[in-house]
Every structure is written in structure tokens, then in C-alpha cells.
Structure 1
Amino acid sequence: MHMNKFFITALCLGTSLTIPQAQAEQNKPLKVCAAENEMPYSNKAGEGFENKLAELVGKALGRKIEYLTWSDPRYYIRDTLDKGLCDVAMGVDKGDPRVLTTQLYYRSGYVFISREADKLNLENWDSEALRKAQRIAFVPGTPPEVMMKAIGRYNDMFNYSQELVGFKSARNQYIKYETSKLVSEISSGHAEIAALWGPSAARYVKASTTPLVMTMIPDNNVRADGQKVDFHFSTSMGVRKNDPTLLAQLNKVIEDNRNEITELLEEEGVPLVAEPDAP
């Protein structure tokens, strides 16, 4: 499970068991379990792109949106979805074993971010620019960390990586890295390269006053022991395992509104990749 996908919005919807009940549910608000501060996905002010996606789903189902916020991304499925406080989680990995997942509504990947003026040739993890860079920003616990170890640059960056911690909770030491801060490291020239999850970085790359370049990292990476390291992921909505009816409704919403969903993601600047051919 790659770490960024814990920073997500969850969307709530009433379960319909009978026809009269389904009609009653139609008038109820759609309760969205959303992160109170996990931008660019969601915040209390509803400014994240997952907030916009939730609004789109609510509109498609003819339901008003209400938000319930959570603060700890590690346990939000257990503490919200599983307890019935909400019924849909937006932004989960397709096939997440904790839930039933819809068809994907987008596929993206990790990107290299650099300054346009530097004209760095960053095709893959073998790129010379990665060997020469003084500072490379990445989030521990994500695929880029694995590849930093594989190319022998992890130890060089250890102290720098500790400087990038944006937040540490008192309880259980939940550590958070702010993507906006990591992107600003590149804008300011403090670091030459960042390797970040594209959807979390796109908004800040777009807003940077220093022109930046996002380069999609190919999905063919192999760690030191020869095992493949995934860099592209498909994003779905998740529902409780006992709720296939809702799953079917959401699959229809995704199918019917695919163009609008893609437009919303492109407006955000999210780099999209094609779905791989089914095996």
C-alpha cells in the first residue's frame, strides 16, 4: 500500500434495502468522510480535488453533500467506513483488501519534479541527474524511498529527509510530510529534484512562481533484489464488503460521468496514465 493513498477523502451514502427505503434515502444528504487537512485532496473548507469529486458524485445521485472530517489517515477506514459513519471512501487503491472497490476513476503515478531552467534529463532512476543531485526530496514509506536505496542515494539524503518533516503528532508519533513544502524545496532551489505522488504534487507544481517540470516515472522499476516496485496506481472508490448494491450504483456514476471526472482531474493538473492492458 503506498503511503499517499492514506491521505484521502471518504464519501458517505445511505444503504438502500427496499424500494421505499431507497426512495427515503434519496432525500437524505450524502455524508462525506473527508480529511480535515490533507490537501490537495480535502480540507474543512472543501477546497480539495476529492471534495470536488464528491460534489460531482452527489450531483449525479441527486443527493446534497454533508461532510464529516477525520484527522488521522492511518485509521480512517477502520474508524469511519467500517463503523458505518460513512459508506464510501474516495481515493482508495483499486483492489484495496479492506473494502470492495469500484472500477478505477483515474490512474496516475509518481513523478520527478525539477526546475524548468535546469533542463534535467530525468527519464528514469538510472538518470545521471539523480547521481549528481545534492538534494532529492521524497516521502519515506513510498516507492521513491525504495528506489533511492536501490540507486545508493538513500543514506546521502537521510539528514535532509529528516528536515522535511512537517508535522509530528504527540500520540503514536504519526509523521506527516507536506507535499507543498517538498515542491517548494524545488521552487526555491534548495533541492534539485523531488520524487512525489503526482496527484498530491500537481496543484503546487502548477502554482509555483518558478516554472517547474513534472516527469512521469516509468512503471518498470526493480529494487536491488530484482523485485518490481510499482510506481503507477489505479484509484477507485471503496465501500463496505457487505454493500454490493452501493458498489453497482457508484460504478454507474463513474461510467456515466467519466468525461467530467477526467476534466476535473486535468484542471487540477493531475498527470494521468493509461490503464494497463488486462492480463
Structure 2
Amino acid sequence: MTRRLSFSRRVLYLAVALCAAAASNGQTAASATEGIPTEVLRVCADASLLPFSNDRREGFENRIAQLIADDLKVPLTFTWWPQTIGFVRNTLRTRQCDLVMGTAVGEELMQNTNPYYRSTYALIYRKDSGITAKNLADPSLQGARIGVVARTPPSAVMLRHGLINMEPYQLDIDTRAHHPAQQAVEDVAAARTDAAIVWGPIAGYFAARQQVPLAIVPLMDEPGASPFQYMISMGIRPDEPDWRHWLNDFIVRRQGDIDRILAEYHVPLVNADGTVRAEVAEPDSYRMADYRSPTPPGLRGAETVGAPEVERLAKAGAVLIDVLPTPPKPAGLTADSRWVPPPHRSLPGAHWLPNVGYGAPSDEQEAYFRTGLEALTAGDRKRPLVLFCQPDCWMSWNAAKRAVALGYQAVKWFPAGTEGWTAAGHELVTVEPEPNPISSNSASKVAN
């Protein structure tokens, strides 16, 4: 029974693609007794396994590892190792690494921290496919060609519901050459299959990057069947209790930051009672009020990006556009009172186009935005645009949506904004509003 359970967990370990750990060829920076890194945090990760990790540090595990390193006040390094059988044995167990960033709770190859998120497998299908399923018992799935990674929990549950028309994808692969779960999502988008069932973080991330709208249905556990939902923790060596206590404390203190990162990557999150946390639905039109409130995880026609991707895009020549409104004049000041707004801090190289993110901008504000984009891109609608303001800011969502409507073909939305930029360890600089060729003072107007 023990060997069978261990094998089952190893299959999950591979299936959800969460085996990331730390490695380096140098000597360990962790204390032999405490295990808490004091000089450098070394994380082993797969160099080609988005949304978890890659060698550009664009995965959510890369970013959460950076949070840990920042909290420890030590540098972060990665050693890249393909996620496959033997991964832990050759890295964590040989003390070449300090931490495994993602592993299912109960994995017997290492000691677990407390879980920092819980997710589930998800059903994906095209919204125009005629499928309306909310679970695997739905009749609309009968006869559908459904992609599934072999030997993962959904394959057994599918048979239980008579879903035998499977498109299998290989489980044990070299991620340097193959990405079967990603391929399963892309095959649904291309109508090569009717649906797919893959691990939720992979489903959410790649579904948001397809050109056609995909429905994502997080699956609930079924009595007597293999579970769909798993708690994900970090993994360390068993002889480092102080390191485990430190990480557990970090998870409690920084859970909000962790959740925000996971939301950026469209990870379906499950509550302790097994219910799925509701995401903010993407509206068909612009947001018209309550601009500082939770935003959807994505935007049709645009790509949602994080700080590492913004840094890479900026170096490649993308136009960074800050749309945070100018602050209103404090109440109580008379019309002729002199008031100087505080300096506006933004990303280095960013262009500030204030007040263009309202749901119903004035004609002057809309013209300011349109002519501003034309000037900053030199009329090239294929040039990447990165639009942002602050977290939970519909202004940037509206502005990105408006840029898509204007015909820009490489619109990127950075929902974490300036706070996400500084949380990633970057500095802000003072910027001034871009000049308005239509009106000398319209950039400073604030809509009512």
C-alpha cells in the first residue's frame, strides 16, 4: 500500500508539473542546523515550464521565490533542471538547493510546508462549441473528443461517466521539447479536440492566451473517485525544522501577495470547503464606476503580463503607458488657491497619459489618448503597448480595452502596476504627463 500511494503521489507530482527546486554548483548557503538561507536563496526550477517557471523568471513560482528572497534580504538564484523523475533525488537530497517551490501536500519525497494555495483540474472547451458542461456528468460531453494527460486523475473519472473518446497526451516528458498540457489547451482552441481536462494553473494560464474565447470549468471532487483538488505547498529537507517554521510564517504574512500573483496567472483557487473562489467576470463593455476595485484576470484581445515580462518587453522596445488619473484638488481650497500636485512616480521609461481610463471619457480625453498612442508608436499598430496604473485599477483595464478597439495588435495589460513593479524589486522614477497637442491643460483635468 505504501509503495502504491507513493507512486500515486509521484504521478500527481509530474501531472501538475509542480516539481521545482533549488540548485547550484556552489556550496550551500543554508545553515546545516537551521536550513534558513543567510547568503543566497537557491531555487531549482524547470527552465521551460510556464506558468510555473522558466529561465526568464516569468513563472508564478519564479515570482513567489523572489518574494521569499526579498523577505530574507538575500539574492535569488536558479539552477535549471528538467522536471522529471529523479528531480528531487538529484537536487534537494544532494543539498544543492534550499527549496522546492511547488509540490502536492503529502508528497513523501520531502518535508512539506503549510499549503499556500489549493487548485483543481479544469475542463476547457470553446465557448462556441455547443458544449455547456459544468461537470463531467453533463450530457453535452457525450461523444466529445476530450484531451487528457495519461495517468492523471481525470482519466479514471472520465471513464466513470462514459467519456471514452479520449485524446491522450504523454505524462512523462522532457519539458525542453514537449509541453503536453499546453498542447491540450491549444488543440481545443484550434478545434482539433472538443474539450480538455488539465491541471487548473495550466488551464487558466494558457486559455487566457488563446485567440478564441475558452470556457474554464474548475472541477469538484466526486465521492468515491480520484480527487481533482490538491493543496500545494513548498518542499524542503526533513532535517530543517527552523526553515519550515520560517516559511510557514512567510506564507501567513504574505498570503495576500501570493494570491495576487496567482490571480495574474489565472490560477483557479479553491477554498478550504472545496468551493471555487469566484473571479471577477470580464464585462462586455467598459467599466463605468468604482474604478478602484478587483478587476478580471484578463482582457479579450490583450495579454496579461507580470513584472518580469514588462521588464523584458521594455528592453525590447515596448511602449509603457501609465494611465493613473491626476489627483483631484483637495476639498476646501478655493478656486483661486494655488495647489501643486505631488510628483507622480512610475516605471522608468513610462509615458503618463492621465485620465484616459474612464469608462466614458470626454471627447478631449479620448482624442488625447488616441493621438498619444499614435505619437508614441509612430503609427505602428504592431508595436507592443503595456498599459498599467495600480493594483485593482479598472483605469488600466479600460485603457487597454480601448487600445485594442483602436486596432493595436500587441496590447499588454499589467494589472499589478506600479506596486507590482516595486514588489519585484524595481525602482520608480518621477514622470510628467505627456503633452497634449489639442489642449495645453486637458491632461490635468479630472473627470467628474
The answer to whether residue 147 in structure 2 is matched with residue 137 in structure 1 is yes
CA distance in 1, matches of 2:253, 2:171: 39
Question: Which whole-Å deviations, capped at 9, do the CAs of 1:33-89 have from their partners, x for residues lacking one?
Answer: 111222221112212111111111111111110111111421111110011011211
1:26-37 alignment runs, 5 A limit: 26=38, 28-37=39-48
Q: 1:251 to 1:46 in 2, by over 3 A?
A: same
CA distance in 2, matches of 1:18, 1:124: 48
Q: Which residue pairs with 1:232 in the alignment?
A: 229
Q: 1:72 to 1:107 in 2, by over 3 A?
A: closer
Q: Which residue pairs with 2:203 in the alignment?
A: 201
CA distance in 2, matches of 1:191, 1:245: 49
Aligned-partner SS, 1:251: helix
Q: 1:72 to 1:204 in 2, by over 3 A?
A: closer
1:146-185 alignment runs, 5 A limit: 146-154=156-164, 156-157=165-166, 160-161=167-168, 164-165=169-170, 177-185=179-187
1:167–1:176 contact (8 Å) kept in structure 2:
no
Question: Which whole-Å deviations, capped at 9, do the CAs of 1:8-38 have from their partners, x for residues lacking one?
Answer: 322468433579x97xx52x12111111222
Q: Tell me which amino acid in the other structure corresponds to 1:141.
A: R
Q: Tell me which amino acid in the other structure corresponds to 1:265.
A: L
CA distance in 1, matches of 2:207, 2:265: 10
Worse-matched range after superposition: 120-129 or 236-245: 120-129
Task: Give the deviation of 1:123 after TM superposition.
Answer: 2.1
Q: Which residue pairs with 2:31 in the alignment?
A: 16
Q: Which residue pairs with 2:65 in the alignment?
A: 54
RMSD: 2.5
Task: Give the deviation of 1:180 after TM superposition.
Answer: 2.0
Q: 1:237 to 1:14 in 2, by over 3 A?
A: farther
Q: Tell me which amino acid in the other structure corresponds to 2:196.
A: A
| Identity within the alignment, % | 28
1:238-249 alignment runs, 5 A limit: 238-249=235-246
TM-score, normalising length: structure 1: 0.84
More helix by share: 1
Worse-matched range after superposition: 212-221 or 260-269: 212-221
Aligned-partner SS, 2:150: coil
1:31-46 alignment runs, 5 A limit: 31-46=42-57
Task: Give the deviation of 1:214 after TM superposition.
Answer: 0.5
More strand by share: 1
TM-score, normalising length: structure 2: 0.54
Q: Which residue pairs with 1:83 in the alignment?
A: 94
Q: Tell me which amino acid in the other structure corresponds to 1:16.
A: S
Task: Give the deviation of 1:153 after TM superposition.
Answer: 3.1
Q: Which residue pairs with 1:267 in the alignment?
A: 264
The answer to whether residue 78 in structure 2 is matched with residue 67 in structure 1 is yes
Aligned-partner SS, 1:118: coil
Work out which structure has the larger RCO, using CA pairs closer than 8 Å and 6 or more positions apart in sequence. Answer: 1
1:183-194 alignment runs, 5 A limit: 183-194=185-196
Q: Which residue pairs with 2:278 in the alignment?
A: none
Aligned-partner SS, 1:210: coil
Q: Tell me which amino acid in the other structure corresponds to 2:247.
A: L
CA distance in 2, matches of 1:145, 1:18: 43
Aligned-partner SS, 2:216: strand
Q: Which residue pairs with 2:136 in the alignment?
A: 125
Q: 1:240 to 1:17 in 2, by over 3 A?
A: closer
Runs (4+) off by over 6 Å:
none
Question: Which whole-Å deviations, capped at 9, do the CAs of 1:124-146 have from their partners, x for residues lacking one?
Answer: 2211122131x101100111111
Aligned-partner SS, 1:10: coil
How many residues are treated as equivalent by the alignment?
A: 258
1:91–1:235 contact (8 Å) kept in structure 2:
yes
Aligned-partner SS, 2:128: helix
Point out where structure 2 has 5 or more consecutive residues left out of the alignment: 1-8, 275-448
Which has the greater radius of gyration?
2
Aligned-partner SS, 1:109: strand
Worse-matched range after superposition: 46-55 or 266-275: 46-55
CA distance in 1, matches of 2:219, 2:133: 8
Aligned-partner SS, 1:125: coil
Q: 1:270 to 1:255 in 2, by over 3 A?
A: same
1:82-121 alignment runs, 5 A limit: 82-121=93-132
